Every structure is written in C-alpha cells, then in structure tokens.
Structure 1
Amino acid sequence: MHIHNISDNNSILNTFISEMRDKHIQKDAMRFRRNIERIGEILGYELSKSLQYEPINIQTPLGTASEFIATDNIVLCSILRAGVPLHNGLLNYFDKAENAFISAYRHHKHNPESFEIVVEYLACPDLEGKTLILADPMLATGQSMVATFEALKPFGKPKAVHLVSVIGAQEGLEYVAKHFSADTHLWIATVDAQLTNKGYIMPGLGDAGDLAFGQKLQN
C-alpha cells in the first residue's frame, strides 16, 4: 500500500487539525464540520496528482489554450455519519464524481472493549473499471474501512482504490495495509501512535460523528 501522510510536511493543514483536536474549539460543531471539509479538500487536491490526465484544447475569447484534464471516472464512497463533511470536501473538488454511501458502526456484543463492524445501509453505483475513493475521517482499528470495501465488492471491481482519512492510528494503517492490495493509496492528514483499549485513537480528538452531528442514542 502507498501511504501518503500529508502532515509529513508543514502546511496550513496543521491549523485545521489542531482546531479539530482542541477540546474547546471543537465544541463549535459547525467549525468542526468545516475543518473536516477543508481537510477533505486538501486531501482531494493531493490525491488528484495521482490521477490520469489527457490534453484538451479550450477556446478562449482570445484564442486556444491547451490544458490537461483528469479522465478517471470517480466514485466517492463515505461511511456514515462522520464521513459526510469529509465527503463534501472531496466532492467540492471532484464535483463530477458519482456518489456512494454506506453505514458501518461498532456493535459491542458482550463488553465495551470488543466489537464487530456492522454494515447496514448501502447505496452505490456500478464500480467496474472506475476509481473508487473510500472516505472515513477516523482510521482507528481499520476494521470499518475493510468491512466497507468487502460490502462494495458486489458492485464491481474498481481499476484503482484510494482511501482517505483525517486522523489514523499506526495500528489501523498496518491493518488496512494487510487487507488491501499493494497498489492501493491511502491519503491521510495525520497519524497518531496508538489506540486505547476500546479502540479509539490516542490522543485523537474524540468521537468525530458526535462532534459533527451531536451525540447518538445508545442501544
């Protein structure tokens, strides 16, 4: 797997990540969502450098200009619900992309320290021969990303797969690297060293879904 950790080089991205982590600033849900969206735009821009391009001629008011335009047929797939603002950021740049949505959540069977990933709602176009961008803000254990990709397989085989996340744990990166093909690309804003015993990224930022959309009811 090709891993692109954008925080390896300092940029304005640092500001957006620091605001998402800050327990005082993140209380502003609208700003939290907007920061995820802006990070999605940055990751989308970096990802776009790896796409295929072809030249076209464009008629301007004064003459003809030659430009290179991406030719990939892109499908954006986001994991609900925290993935919505990240999806919007990517869609701002890949505005002609098709869209897919899937719900994947942790189901704790017996105790809070063990869980399985349950996939329920799924809406997806044909993926055969297309470029799939699979987005989930938090890459903790990596199980959600793998379970989602497995659920998408009946819709066809993409020609290329890109994973997009805001914050990941090293353990999660290692897990997805084992379960995705070697030519898969992971685009991530920053990586933390460890997980808690409940599978949450440490130091992370908390529950991205709750911070973006409010606390969910517990079953």
Structure 2
Amino acid sequence: MHIHNLSQQNSVLNTFISEIRDVIIQKDSMRFRRNIERIGEILGYEMSKSLNYETSAIETPLATCSIDLLDNDIVLCSILRAGVPLHNGLLNYFDNAENAFISAYRHHKENPESFEIIVEYLACPNLENKTLILADPMLATGQSMVATFEALKPFGTPKEVHLVSVIGAQEGVNYVKNTFDENTHLWIATIDETLNNKGYIIPGLGDAGDLAFGKKLQQ
C-alpha cells in the first residue's frame, strides 16, 4: 500500500487538525464540520496529483488553448454518518464523481471492549473499472474500512482504490496496509500512536459523528 501522510510536511492543514482536536473549539459543531470538509478538500487536492489526465482543447474568447483535465471515472463512497463532512470536502473537488453511501457501526456485545462491524444500508453505482475513493474520517482499528470494501464487492471491481481518512491510529493503518492490495493508496492527514482499550484513537479527537451531528442514543 502507498501511504501518503500529509502531516509529514507542515502546511495550513495543521491549523484545521488542531481545531478539530481542541476540546473548546470542537464544541462548535458547524466549525467542526467545516474543518473536516476543508481537510477533505486538501486530501482531495493532494490525491488529484496521482490520478490520470488527458489533454483537451479549450476555447477562450480569444484563442484555443490546451489543458490536461482529469480523466478518471470516480465513485466517492463515505461511511455514514461521520463521513458526510469529509465526503462533501472531497466532492467539492471531484464534482463529477458518482456517489455511494454505506452505514457501518460498531456493535458491542457483552464485553464493551470488543465489537463487530455491522453494515446495514448501502447505495452504490457500478464500480467496474472505476476509481473508488473510500472515505472514513477516523481510521481506528481499520475494521470499518475493510468491512465497507467487502460490502462493495458485488458492485464490481474498481480499477484503483484510494482510502481517505483524517486521523488514524498506527494499528489501523497497519491493518489496512496488510489487508488491501499493494497498489491501494491511503491519503491521511495525520497518524496517532495508539488506541485505548475501547478501540478509540489516542490522542484522537473523540467521536467524530457526535461532534459533527450531535450525540446519539446508544443501543
């Protein structure tokens, strides 16, 4: 797997990462969503440098000019509900992409420290020979990303796969690296060291879905 960790170079991305982590600033859910969206835009821009381009002739009011334009059939798939702001950020840059949405959540049994990933809802176009962008803001254990990809397989085989996350734990990064094809790309804003005993990223930022959309009732 090709891992692109954007935190390895300083940029304005650091500001947005600091604000989504800050316990005071993140209380503003609108600002939190917008920061996730802006991070998605930056990740999308960096990813765009690795995609395919084709030269096109463009007519201006004065002359004809040539420009290399994106030549990928993109399907953007996000994991509900936390993935929506990240999805919007990516869609701001890949505005012609087709879209897929999937629900994947942790189901805890008797032991609160163990869980399984449940996939219930899925809406997806044909993926055959297309560029799949699979977006989930928090790459903790990596199980949600893998379960989502498995659920998408009946819709066709993508030509290439790009995973996009905001914050990941090294354990989750290693898990997807060992699970996905070696030609898969992971685009991630920053990587944290560890997980706690409940599988949450440390230092992380908390529950991205709750911070973006409000707390949910636990089942």
> What is the alpha-carbon distance in structure 2 between the residues aligned to residue 177 and residue 40 of structure 1?
21
TM-score (norm 2): 1.00
- Cα displacement (A) at 1:87: 0.1
Q: 2:174 maps to what in 1?
A: 174
SS, match of residue 162 in structure 2:
strand
Deviations 1:157-207 (A, max 9, x none): 000000000000000000001110000000000000000000000000000
> What is the alpha-carbon distance in structure 1 between the residues aligned to residue 169 and residue 102 of structure 2?
22
- Cα displacement (A) at 1:3: 0.2
> What is the alpha-carbon distance in structure 1 between the residues aligned to residue 158 and residue 114 of structure 2?
32
SS, match of residue 26 in structure 1:
helix
Q: 2:113 maps to what in 1?
A: 113
Write out aligned runs for 1:130-209 (5 A): 130-209=130-209
Q: 1:77 maps to what in 2?
A: 77
SS, match of residue 209 in structure 1:
helix
TM-score (norm 1): 1.00
> What is the alpha-carbon distance in structure 1 between the residues aligned to residue 165 and residue 171 of structure 2?
14
> What is the alpha-carbon distance in structure 2 between the residues aligned to residue 204 and residue 210 of structure 1?
14
RMSD: 0.3
Write out aligned runs for 1:10-89 (5 A): 10-89=10-89
- Cα displacement (A) at 1:214: 0.3
- Cα displacement (A) at 1:24: 0.2
Give the partner amino acid of 1:94.
F
> What is the alpha-carbon distance in structure 1 between the residues aligned to residue 74 and residue 9 of structure 2?
27
SS, match of residue 177 in structure 1:
helix
Identity %: 79
> What is the alpha-carbon distance in structure 1 between the residues aligned to residue 132 and residue 14 of structure 2?
27
> What is the alpha-carbon distance in structure 1 between the residues aligned to residue 109 and residue 149 of structure 2?
23
Consecutive unaligned residues of structure 1, counting only runs of 5 or more, are none
- Cα displacement (A) at 1:73: 0.1
Q: Number of aligned residue pairs: give it.
A: 219
Deviations 1:30-67 (A, max 9, x none): 00000000000000000000100010110101101110
Consecutive unaligned residues of structure 2, counting only runs of 5 or more, are none
> What is the alpha-carbon distance in structure 2 between the residues aligned to residue 70 and residue 59 of structure 1?
18
Give the partner amino acid of 2:32.
F
SS, match of residue 99 in structure 1:
strand
> What is the alpha-carbon distance in structure 2 between the residues aligned to residue 129 and residue 70 of structure 1?
16
> What is the alpha-carbon distance in structure 2 between the residues aligned to residue 200 and residue 35 of structure 1?
20
- Cα displacement (A) at 1:109: 1.1
> What is the alpha-carbon distance in structure 1 between the residues aligned to residue 55 and residue 183 of structure 2?
25
- Off by >6 Å, runs of 4+ in structure 1: none
> What is the alpha-carbon distance in structure 2 between the residues aligned to residue 127 and residue 173 of structure 1?
24
Give the partner amino acid of 1:176.
V
SS, match of residue 145 in structure 1:
helix
Give the partner amino acid of 2:133.
I
- Cα displacement (A) at 1:111: 1.3
> What is the alpha-carbon distance in structure 2 between the residues aligned to residue 21 and residue 111 of structure 1?
28
> What is the alpha-carbon distance in structure 2 between the residues aligned to residue 207 and residue 116 of structure 1?
17
